[in-house]
């Protein structure tokens, strides 16, 4: 074996069949590692970065920021939320499986996708807003938000 490798070093005729076979063996070894690595990567990716979970967290963060220093908050038939903040009118409602927000009755901003139903409820003292969401895949989410009003 050693003499064959020594002979290959001394042979300066260029790219040979033996070189190609050695590279093919290395490629096949690395491809086996990829086959073992890919299912682990998919499983990890699915558990840590679920799109619906990320969208839910972004939605809750956005909604909480809209409920800080508001002038008034109203619920329309438990399916739409109307917020007056800084003399601006914001409306949040479900339309065609997408929870959308409208600012000043102009345009729509998508906040949450694949929603079958969304409901809003106030606490008795109107300082807490409960949001219940049913997604199209059957997943249910619920979160309470603190409402802070502008003094005056």
The total of structural domains in the chain comes to: 2
Confidence (pTM) = 0.66
* DSSP element (H, E) containing 8: helix 2-10
The per-residue pLDDT for 41 is: 79
Residue 98 lies in a domain: yes
Query: What is the band of 128 on the pLDDT scale with cuts at 50, 70, 90?
Result: very high
- Looking at the fold, whether 44 and 89 belong to one and the same domain comes out as no
Give backbone dihedrals phi and psi of 20, rounded to 5 degrees, phi first: -65, -40
Residue 151 lies in a domain: no
Residue 21 neighbours by CB distance under 10 Å:
10
Q: Left if phi > 0, otherwise alpha if psi is -120 to 50, otherwise beta: which for 139?
A: beta
Contacts of 139 (CB under 8 A, 6+ apart): 52
- Looking at the fold, whether 40 and 76 belong to one and the same domain comes out as no
37-80, pLDDT tens digit by residue? 888 778 776 765 577 888 899 999 999 999 999 999 999 876 88
Mean pLDDT, to the nearest integer, of 117-128? 92
Rounded Cα–Cα distance for residues 131 and 65 (Å): 15
Number of alpha carbons in the 13 Å side-chain half-sphere of residue 135: 14
- Looking at the fold, whether 26 and 63 belong to one and the same domain comes out as no
Query: What is the band of 119 on the pLDDT scale with cuts at 50, 70, 90?
Result: very high
Domain that holds residue 117: 52-146
E strands, the chain, where?
72-76, 80-85, 88-95, 98-103, 106-113, 115-122, 128-135, 140-146
Mean pLDDT, to the nearest integer, of 80-99? 91
Compute CA distances 37 → 27, 31, 33, 46, whole Å: 15, 10, 6, 14
- Looking at the fold, whether 7 and 63 belong to one and the same domain comes out as no
Residue 152 lies in a domain: no
Residue with tokens 């409901």: 119
């Amino acid at each position: 074996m050693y003499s064959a490798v020594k002979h290959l070093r001394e042979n300066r005729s260029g790219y040979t069949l033996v070189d190609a076979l050695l590279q093919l063996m290395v490629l096949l070894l690395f491809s086996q590692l990829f086959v073992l690595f890919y299912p682990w990567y998919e499983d990890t990716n699915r558990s840590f970065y679920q799109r619906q979970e990320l969208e839910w967290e972004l939605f809750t963060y956005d909604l909480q920021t809209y409920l800080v220093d508001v002038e008034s908050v109203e619920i329309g038939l438990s399916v739409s939320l109307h917020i007056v903040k800084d003399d601006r009118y914001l409306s949040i409602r479900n339309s065609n499986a997408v929870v959308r927000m409208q600012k000043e009755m102009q345009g729509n901003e998508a906040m949450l996708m694949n929603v079958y139903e969304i409901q809003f409820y106030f606490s008795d003292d109107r300082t807490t807003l409960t949001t219940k969401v049913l997604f199209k895949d059957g997943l249910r989410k619920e979160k309470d938000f603190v409402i802070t009003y502008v003094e005056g």
